[in-house]
Amino acid sequence: MGETMNVLERIRAHYDEMFSAEKKVADYILGNPEQAVMMNVSELSRQSGVSDATVIRMCKRIECEGYYQMKIMLSNNLGKTQLLQYTDSNSKADVLSNLFQVFARNMLKLAESLDVQALRTSVDLIKKAGVVHLVAAGNTSPIACDLGFRLGRLLGIKSSYAMVPEYYLNNVNLAGKDDIVVAISHSGTSKPVIQALELAKQKNLKIIAITGHEFSPVSSLADCLLLAKIDMPIFADSFPDSHLGVMAVVDALLFFLVNEKATGGDIDTVELMLSEYKM
């Protein structure tokens, strides 16, 4: 049955077999497929009024391996392809114009929704930190590394960062009492990031989380949550996420740090040394 039926058809076919709690999840997805496909498991469980485990059981009931597989299949079924819902023009110039209008709307919505107090608290935590430990996984790792580099280059703030989880897990394990951890995870469900934050909690380190989902394991572990939620996504959920929201929050954080002159080491010396590599 499963191979030829899409997710909504599978739900309808198995509906009578479901327990009442599973039907709540099924009803929400059937009534709100476009919204459901943008949620993580915790957000869908909250909207459905059930537990995360019930959501996963419902997914297995319709012959999916788990929630993530169901979400990818639903995204493909809905045909959420690049820019499909934002343009009906074949002109590349029109598509480009519409694309950047979406970018602009996303950034303005993000500016409205970002918690300014959480941003200020994050700035204070970073300014006072002995070392800022950056943790991320997968295609978000380069953003964490870039943030770590710029904390040092722009502000003289010591940081540790690595593309490999074993490295940053070790750094967090060796962290001092004045250190903090900054986690970047769009989904909020990356296992290596969660492990790093659990380790940070054991060491009583303060945690800043930059994520696209308010209700997630990463968000729940954070002392300070910077929500980089994008209302109008560009790509289908089966594609890697756009990082514009996360990068905008990172740049806002850096802007406020620079504005408050949170400088540490002798940055000008490094700038002079690196100047010889520029034209």
pLDDT of residue 268: 56
CATH number at residue 25: 1.10.10.10
Range of the domain at 47: 7-78
> Could you report the per-residue pLDDT of 152-202, keeping only the tens digit for each?
998 999 999 999 999 999 999 999 999 999 999 988 889 999 999 999 999
Residues 6+ apart with CB under 8 A from 200: 133, 172, 175, 181, 207, 221
Residue 104 counted as domain residue: no
Strand partners, 207: 181
pLDDT tier at 241, thresholds 50, 70, 90 = low
Lowest-confidence segment of 25-34, 100-109, 249-258 by average pLDDT: 100-109
pLDDT of residue 83: 44
Query: To 10 degrees, the CA torsion angle through 229, 235, 240, 246?
Result: -30
User: Are 13 and 141 in a shared domain?
Assistant: no
Nearest to 62 by CA among 118, 143, 107, 5: 5
Task: Please state the rounded mean pLDDT for residues 29-54.
Answer: 89
User: Are 250 and 163 in a shared domain?
Assistant: yes
Strand partners, 95: none
User: Are 67 and 154 in a shared domain?
Assistant: no
d(CA 219, CA 229): 12
pLDDT of 238 strictly over 50: no
State the average pLDDT for the chain. 85
Residue 184 counted as domain residue: yes
> Could you report the per-residue pLDDT of 52-63, keeping only the tens digit for each?
999 999 999 999
pLDDT of residue 81: 42
Compare 257 and 3 and report the one with higher pLDDT: 257
Last residue of one domain, picked from the residues 50, 78, 106: 78
Compare 149 and 236 and report the one with higher pLDDT: 149
Percent of the chain having pLDDT more than 70? 82
d(CA 136, CA 152): 18
Task: Please state the rounded mean pLDDT for residues 127-139.
Answer: 95
Residue 131 counted as domain residue: yes
Residue 95 counted as domain residue: no
Last residue of one domain, picked from the residues 33, 61, 78: 78
> Could you report the per-residue pLDDT of 70-90, keeping only the tens digit for each?
988 887 777 644 444 555 555
